[in-house]
Structure 1
C-alpha cells in the first residue's frame, strides 16, 4: 500500500504537441495544489520542443532534487523529416529560409540515414536551450544574434527507417542524452545536398521508461489524489539505473549527517543508499578504498 501522504517520485506524462514543457509542469503543479491543498514542488528532467509530443519524466516533491541523475539517460524518438526545405529553427515551427530541389533515390537516402549510427561531434541548433553567457541560444537567435555554439559529442546507437515517401522520411532513433534530433535531420538533409527540417517529433522512451506507460496530460488533470498516488513511481524504483547500497545498522545516522565512511561494497561510482528496512536515504558515491561520500540526503 502506497503512503497516501507521500508525493515524492516521478510521473510519466505524454506531452501533447504545441505546448511548452514549462506550461505542462505548471498545469500539473496547479492540479496537485488543487487536490492536496498544498504547494508541491514539480519539475521535469529534460525539455521537449513546443511542437513535439511524447514522454516527459516529471519529478514531484523530493524527487525534484534528483533531476541531474535522470538527465543522462538514453532517449528514443520517432521523427519525420522533409527534404528540400531548410528552416531557421530546423523544425516546422521555423521560417523557411531556403528551398532546394532534391534529386535523391530511396536507396541513397537510406544509406545516408544509416551512416549516422555513430558517435560524433554534433552542432546544436541555433534555436536551442543551450546557455551562452547566461542567455539561452534561442533568446539570442530571436534577436538576430548568431549564438556561438560548440559541438557536443553524441552517440546514435540505432536508427530504424520506418518509412520513406519522398520528400518525407520517418525514422526511429535510439540515442545518447544531449542529442538534438533537429540537428540530426538537418545533417541528413545536408548530406543529401538539399537540406531538411523536422516535420514531426515524438519522444517514445527515456531510459527504460516508455511513453506507453505514460498518462496523457488531459487525463492527469482529471485524476484524484488517490489515482495520482497510484500512478506515482517512488524514488527508489525511479532510480532503477543506480546500484543499491544497503547500509548496516548504525550507519544510517552517519550518512544522514553527511559523514564519509568505509563500506563493504566494492566498485566505484554512484549508488542509491538504503537502510536495512529498504528505505531510500539518498544518493552517494563510492570512492577510493570503498569510502562512501554522501551526495544527496532525501529524508
Structure 2
C-alpha cells in the first residue's frame, strides 16, 4: 500500500496522534506494518487537511512540505495569549475600539512578502531543542524571522472583536503569528480562536476523509482513497526514459537525457511507470536521487 492519503484532522488531537491512529488501523486491516507519515503538522486545536504519506510515499515527505497552504482563521482582538491561540495563557487584555474599515485596511495590508517571527510555542529548533519545550519551562528564546509570502488574504467576516479571514500563503507561514501581527497593528493585540487548513498545494480538504470515517474503512476502501505517488507529484516536471535507460536509472547510474530542464524531475519509463526522482544537472546529465523500483 503506497501513496498519498488526504485526511481531515479533527480539533484537539496532535498530528502525531492522528498518524499513530492511522498506522494502527492499517496494521489491523492489512495485518502488516505499513509506514505512515505526514507532510506538515497542524496545531493541536486546529482542524483540516493533512497530507498523509503511506508506504513508499514516506520517502517523499520533504517534497510535499514546501507546497503553499490555505487556511481559514478567526481571531479575537483585545486579548493576547502566550501561545497566540486559544490554548494559551492570557497575558494581555486591552480595550479595542477600532472601526471596521480601519481593521479591513490593516488585514489587507498583510498581502505581501515579509519576515515573520515564529511564535515562541512552535516546533522551531533552538540549540537542538524545540522552541515550545523551552517556552513551557519559561525560557525566553529569540527565534529568527523567516521570509514568508501571503499570496492572498480575504475577509470572510468581521464582528468586532472577532474577525475571520481566508489566507493563501507560502510554506512556513504561521497563522498564529499573522493574527497576532494584525492585532499588534490595531494596537489591541489578538489571538487565534479557531484555525482550519483547507488546502495544501492542489490538495483540498473537500477531498479528504474524516479520521473517524477512515478508522471504519476496510483495506480496499482505503486503497480506493489513495492518490498514486506519480499523480501526487504533480508539481514536478515529468520525463520519460527509453528502454535501457530506465534500467540504468534504476541501478543509480548517471547519463545524458534529451531534456533541457534543470533541477528535480519525476522519472517514468515509456509505459508511464514511476521510477523515482532524478535531478538534471549541467550538460543534461540525469542523476538518480530516489529510486522506487
* TM-score clears 0.5: yes
Task: Quote the offset at 1:168 in angstroms.
Answer: 0.1
In terms of mean alpha carbon deviation, does 17-26 or 256-265 score higher? 256-265
Match of 1:200 in 2: 194
The one of 114, 120, 123 equivalent to 2:114 is: 120
Residue 148 (structure 1) shift:
2.3
SS of the residue corresponding to residue 233 of structure 1 reads coil
TM-superposed deviation, 1:103: 1.6
**Pairing partner for 2:140 from 120, 139, 146:** 146
Task: Answer with 181-190 or 144-153: which moved more.
Answer: 144-153
1:34 is aligned, of 28, 38, 43, to 28
Residues 75-117 of structure 1, C-alpha deviation per residue, up to 9 Å, x if partnerless? 0000000000000000000010000111211000000000000
Counterpart of 2:269 in structure 1 is 275
Q: Which has the higher mean CA deviation after the structures are superposed, 154-163 or 242-251?
A: 242-251
Residue 92 of structure 1 pairs with residue 76 of structure 2: no
Query: Superposition RMSD on alpha carbons, in Å?
Result: 0.6
Aligned residue number for residue 133 of structure 1: 127
1:130 & 1:273 partners in 2: Cα distance?
Answer: 33
TM value normalised by structure 2: 0.99
Query: Within the alignment, does 1:284 sit opposite 2:278 as a pair?
Result: yes
Please say if 1:55 is aligned against 2:54: no
**How do residues 69-108 of structure 1 correspond to structure 2 at under 5 angstroms?**
69-108=63-102
Distance in 2 between residues matched to 1:259 and 1:238, nearest whole Å: 25
For the residue of structure 2 that corresponds to 1:223, the secondary structure is coil
TM-score normalised per structure 1: 0.97
How many correspondences in the alignment? Answer: 293
Deviation at 1:278, TM superposition (A): 0.9
The match for 1:24 among 15, 18, 21 is 18
State the 1:175 CA deviation.
Answer: 0.3
Partner deviation per Cα, 1:150-189 (whole Å, 9 max, x = no partner): 0000000000000000000000000000000000000000
Taking the aligned partners of 2:208 and 2:55, their CA distance within structure 1 comes to: 19
In the other structure, the counterpart of 1:293 is 287
Residues in 2 aligned to 1:152 and 1:28: alpha-carbon distance in whole angstroms: 32
Q: Secondary structure at the match of 2:83?
A: coil
CA distance in structure 2 between the partners assigned to 1:140 and 1:291 by the alignment: 46
Q: 1:225 aligns with which of 211, 215, 219?
A: 219
Equivalent residue, structure 1, for 2:229: 235
Inter-partner Cα distance in structure 2 for 1:230 and 1:165: 42
CA deviations 1:188-230 (Å, max 9, x no partner) are 0000001000000000000000000000000000000110110
Measured after TM superposition, the shift of residue 256 of structure 1 is 1.4
What's the counterpart of residue 183 of structure 1? 177
| Counterpart-to-counterpart distance in 2, 1:35 and 1:61 | 15
Deviations 1:215-257 (A, max 9, x none): 0000000000110110000100010111111111101121112
Q: Which runs of 5+ in 1 are unaligned?
A: 1-6
The 10-residue stretch of structure 1 (276-285 or 153-162) with the greater mean CA deviation from structure 2 = 276-285
Task: Please name the residue that 2:160 is paired with.
Answer: 166
